[in-house]
Amino acid sequence: MARPRLAVLKFASCDGCQLSLLDCEDELLAVAGAVEIANFPEASRSILPGPYDIALVEGSITTEHDAARIREIRDESLLLVAIGACATAGGIQALRNFAEVGEMVRAVYARPDFISTLATSTPVAAHVKVDYELRGCPIDKGQLLELISALLAGRRPVLPAHSVCVECKLAGRVCVMVAHGTPCLGPVTHAGCGALCPGYHRGCYGCFGPAETTNTASLAAQWQALGASGRDIKRAFRTFNAAAEPFRREAEAHD
Amino acid sequence: MTETTKRIRVEMLARVEGEGGLEVDIADGAVQSVRLSIFEPPRLFEAFLRGRAAAEAPDIAARICGICPVAYQMSAAHAIEAAYGVQPVPEVRALRRLLYCGEYIESHALHMVMLHAPDFLGYEDGIAMAAAHGELVKRALAAKKAGNALMRVLAGREIHPINVRLGGFYRLPGRAELLALQPDLARARDDSVAILRWAAAFEFPDIERDWELVALRHPTEYPLNEGRIASTGGIDIAADAFETVFEERHIAHSNALHAVVRDRGAYLTGPLARYALNFDRLPAHIQALAREVGLGPVCRNPYRSILVRAIETVFVCEEAMRLIATYRPPQAAPPAVVPRAGTGAWATEAPRGLLWHRYEIDSDGTILSARIVPPTAQNQPAIEADLLDIARRRIDAPDDVLQLACEAAVRNHDPCISCATHFLRLTVNRR
C-alpha cells in the first residue's frame, strides 16, 4: 500500500508549530517512514505536487495571495488540519483586527506602499473547510503525534476540549488562583499544554484559546476580585487567541 | 526571450525558516542583479506592542520566531530591565545564559545536520540523508533533544517557553532537576564533536568574504546575553547607541527591512562574526579543536559556517554543564521590578546573529514604542552580495545547478525569514 502523502505548509506565523514536528526527535524518522513527506519546505527542497492525503497547515490568512493559496491547498488535500493558534484563531497578528492596519504598517515600514496586506488576520476555517484543529501557541508535540497516529490508523484523534483547569487537577497541582491569588485563564482555556504555567507558579495565559464551554464573564469578575484592572483583563483575553469568539467578546466587554 | 535570455524561477526557498524566494537577473551572459525576496507576510509586531504592558513583551516578542524564541525573550527582558534600571541577580543571570545555551544546541543541531549538511552531500533533506548517514542524523537529533530538554526543564517548553519574566523566572529550578540533565548534555557535547569532524571532511568552495563582522563582545565571556556591540571595522558601542551606527532601509522587493552600517553598507552578524570577534573567549581546548579541523581564529568562508556552528555547539554544551555544576538557587528575594518612564535598549546573540530591541515605556509600564532589528534583516545585504558572487561564478552552469548553488549560498547563513519580517522564491531571469 502506498504511504499517505503528507504536506506541512505555512501561512503568517512564526514556524514554531511545524518545528514541533522536527522537535519529535525520537519519532521523526519513524513518522518519515510511515508517510511520504511530499511537501514540507521547512525540512526539504523536494516539493512534490498534490494531491495530499494529509495537509498540516500553520499560520493565518493575512494577504489576498494567501487567501487564494489556502483554497488551492484545500482542493488538493483529502484531510486538512489547522495547527496552532494562528491557523485556528488568527494568532497574535489578529491584533490588527482591532486597530487600523494602515496605521500599523506605517508604524513599522518606511515605505508602506511596498507592503500589501489585508486589514484582518483570519483563521483557516474562515476560508475553507477544516477537518481537524490542533490548538496552541505552539501546539503540543504529544497532541501532534496523537493526531498523526490516529489519521494513519483511520480513527478519530483523542483531543480533549475541556479546560486547562481539568488538566491542572489531573496533574495534582495547587490552584494558583485559589492558593496564591494569581489571576489565571485556566478555567476558560482549552486543554492541551498539560497545565504548564500553573506548574511554574504562573497563571495560564491562554495559549490554547477558549475551551469548549466557557464562562469568561464569571472568570473576569474573579480576576477583578483579585485586583486585576479592566485593562489587565482586556489584555489577557486579547493576546494569542484575540479573535477567537469567546475571548474577543470578553475583551470587548472591558474596552 | 531570445537565445541570450533565460528564466529560472524558484518560488519557495526550502530548508530555511519562513517564506522567501530568490531572483537572479541575467542578461547577455552576465549576472545583472540578485535579490532575496521576502514574501513572508508582515505580522506588525512593533505596531501591536504599543499599548501593551512591558511585562507582556517577552512573551509577545517570542512569537516572532518559533526557532529562537529565547533570543526574543532575552533581548526584550534585558531591554525593559535597562529602562527600569533593574539589575537581575547573579543566579538569574547564570540561568538566562543556561537557557540560551539550550536554544543554541537545539537551533545549531537542527541547522547543521537537517538543513545545511544535505547541501554538501547532495541530498534533498536530512531525512533522505539519514539512509546513508543514519548514525550522524541520530546523533544530531539526540543533541537537539538534549538542548530541548534543557529548555523544557528550565522554562516549561522548547517553543515559546513560559517561565521567563522581567527580573528573572516565575519558578527557579532546583539543583537536582538541572543536575539530571548533565549526562545527556555530556553526550550532546560528544555528538557535537562527532558532527564537527564529520563536517570537516566536506568539500568547501574556496571563498573568502571581506564583510565587516558585527557581534557582541564581553570582557570575559563568549557572548550570549551581554556585551558591547563590536565589529572588525572598529565599532565598539553600547546597545543604546545602535541607531547612531546602523540604519534600516526598506527595499521594494522585501517585506523585511535591510540594515546597514551608516556610510559603509553591508555587514554580517551570526556565527562567523561571533567567532571571529570572540575566538579568544573560547577555552583553549575548544580553540585547539577548531584548529584541528582547519579553522583559524577568523573564518570568512560562509560554507565553513557549519564548522563554526559545531564549535559553538561544543562550547555551549560545556558551558551549560559548567553553569549547572555551579548553580545554587538564589537566597535573596529577586529585586522588585517597578515600572518607570524611560527608554531601554539591549542586544543579545541569537543563534543566527545579533538581535537588538528598544522599548520606550510610560510611567505605568505601558509600551509607547518598540523597535526590533532581527539578525536576518541585518544579514540580508551581505547574503545578497554573497548570492551575486556565487551566481557570477556559476553563470555557465545548467539552471538546476545554478539554482542549487544559490539556495545553498542562502542556507549558509541560516536565515530566519519569519524573524526578518518583520523577511524567500528563486527567480533567475536570463535575458
SS3 B187: helix
Q: What percentage of chain B has pLDDT greater than the value 90?
A: 71
Min Cα distance A199 → chain B (Å) is 9
Q: Is A136 in CB contact (< 8 Å) with chain B?
A: no
Most confident among A148-152, B5-9, B418-422 (mean pLDDT): A148-152
Mutate to test the interface with A, among B43, B112, B403 (most CBs of A within 10 A): B43
What local confidence, expressed as pLDDT, does residue A84 receive?
Answer: 98
Provide DSSP, B7-71. EEEE-S--SSBS-EEEEEEEETTEEEEEEEEE-SPP--HHHHTTTSBGGGHHHHHHTT-SSSHHH
Mean pLDDT of B295-315: 98
Tens of pLDDT, residues B317-356: 999 999 999 999 988 777 789 999 999 999 999 999 999 9
Distance CA B256, CA A97 (A): 22
Strands B367-373 and B353-361: antiparallel
- Please list every residue in chain B whose beta carbon sits closer than 8 Å to the beta carbon of residue A43: 14-15, 114-115, 125-127
Q: Is B255 in CB contact (< 8 Å) with chain A?
A: yes
Query: Which has more pLDDT, B220 or B14?
Result: B220
Mutate to test the interface with B, among A9, A45, A120 (most CBs of B within 10 A): A45
What local confidence, expressed as pLDDT, does residue B423 receive?
Answer: 33
- Please list every residue in chain B whose beta carbon sits closer than 8 Å to the beta carbon of residue A111: 250, 252
B430: confidence class by pLDDT, cuts 50, 70, 90: low
Min Cα distance A32 → chain B (Å) is 7
- Please list every residue in chain A whose beta carbon sits closer than 8 Å to the beta carbon of residue B16: 42
What local confidence, expressed as pLDDT, does residue B254 receive?
Answer: 62
Is the model's pLDDT at A171 over the cut of 50?
yes
Tens of pLDDT, residues A213-247: 999 999 999 999 999 999 999 999 999 999 999 99
Pick the range with the lowest mean pLDDT from A134-148, B249-263, B282-296: B249-263
What local confidence, expressed as pLDDT, does residue B425 receive?
Answer: 37
The cell 537529533 sits on which residue? B141
Contact B160 A16 (CB under 8 A): yes
Q: What percentage of chain A has pLDDT greater than the value 90?
A: 89
Peptide bond between residue B329 and the one before it cis (omega within 30 degrees of 0): no
Pick the range with the lowest mean pLDDT from B130-134, B228-232, B359-363, B418-422: B418-422
Distances (CA, A) of B110 to A189, B66, B390: 32, 13, 25
Strands B212-217 and B267-268: parallel
What local confidence, expressed as pLDDT, does residue B4 receive?
Answer: 58
What local confidence, expressed as pLDDT, does residue B7 receive?
Answer: 54
Contact A23 B56 (CB under 8 A): no
What local confidence, expressed as pLDDT, does residue B202 receive?
Answer: 98
Distance CA A42, CA A118 (A): 25
B370: confidence class by pLDDT, cuts 50, 70, 90: very high
Could you state, in order of their start, the residue ranges of all structural domains in chain A?
A: 5-153, 164-252
Contact B16 A103 (CB under 8 A): no
Q: Write phi, then psi, for A140 (nearest 5 degrees).
A: -95, 130
Q: Angle formed by the axes of helices B305-326 and B126-155, to 10°?
A: 30
What local confidence, expressed as pLDDT, does residue B252 receive?
Answer: 64
What local confidence, expressed as pLDDT, does residue B359 receive?
Answer: 98
Contact A92 B249 (CB under 8 A): no
Which residue spans within B123-167 are E strands per DSSP? Answer: 164-165
- Please list every residue in chain A whose beta carbon sits closer than 8 Å to the beta carbon of residue B56: 235, 239
Is the model's pLDDT at B279 over the cut of 80?
yes
Is the model's pLDDT at B23 over the cut of 90?
no
Q: Which of B17, B42, B157 sits opposite A105 (nearest CB)?
A: B42
Is the model's pLDDT at B426 over the cut of 50?
no
Min Cα distance B337 → chain A (Å) is 16
Q: Is A12 in CB contact (< 8 Å) with chain B?
A: yes
Query: Which has more pLDDT, B254 or A58?
Result: A58
What local confidence, expressed as pLDDT, does residue B216 receive?
Answer: 98
Contact A15 B66 (CB under 8 A): yes
Q: Is B19 in CB contact (< 8 Å) with chain A?
A: yes
Mean pLDDT of chain A: 95
Provide DSSP, chain A. -PPPEEEEEESBS-SHHHHHHHT-TTTHHHHHHHSEEEE-TTTBS----S-EEEEEEESBB-SHHHHHHHHHHHHTEEEEEEESHHHHH--GGGGGGGS-HHHHHHHH-S-GGG----S--B-GGGTS--SEEE--SS--HHHHHHHHHHHHHTS------SBHHHHHHHTTPPPHHHHH-----GGGBBS-S-SHHHHTT-----TT-B-SS--HHHHHHHHHHTT--HHHHHHHHSSTTTTSHHHHHHHHTT-
Contact A202 B422 (CB under 8 A): no
Q: Tell me what ipTM this predicted complex has.
A: 0.97
What local confidence, expressed as pLDDT, does residue B10 receive?
Answer: 59
Retrieve residue B63's grid coordinates. Answer: 512569537
Residues facing A10 on adjacent strands: A58
Is the model's pLDDT at B18 over the cut of 80?
no
What local confidence, expressed as pLDDT, does residue B11 receive?
Answer: 63
SS3 B399: helix
Q: Is A29 in CB contact (< 8 Å) with chain B?
A: yes
Tens of pLDDT, residues A54-76: 999 999 999 999 999 999 999 99
Mean pLDDT of A78-89: 98
Q: Which fold has domain A5-153?
A: Rossmann fold (3.40.50)
Pick the range with the lowest mean pLDDT from A75-79, A134-138, B263-267: B263-267
Pick the range with the lowest mean pLDDT from B262-276, B332-346, B405-419: B405-419
Mean pLDDT of B155-175: 96
What local confidence, expressed as pLDDT, does residue B424 receive?
Answer: 35
Q: Is A30 in CB contact (< 8 Å) with chain B?
A: no
Contact at 8 Å (CB) between B150 and B179? no
Tens of pLDDT, residues B181-225: 999 999 999 999 999 999 999 999 999 999 999 999 999 999 999
Residues facing B24 on adjacent strands: B34, B428
What local confidence, expressed as pLDDT, does residue A110 receive?
Answer: 76
Mutate to test the interface with A, among B157, B372, B416 (most CBs of A within 10 A): B157
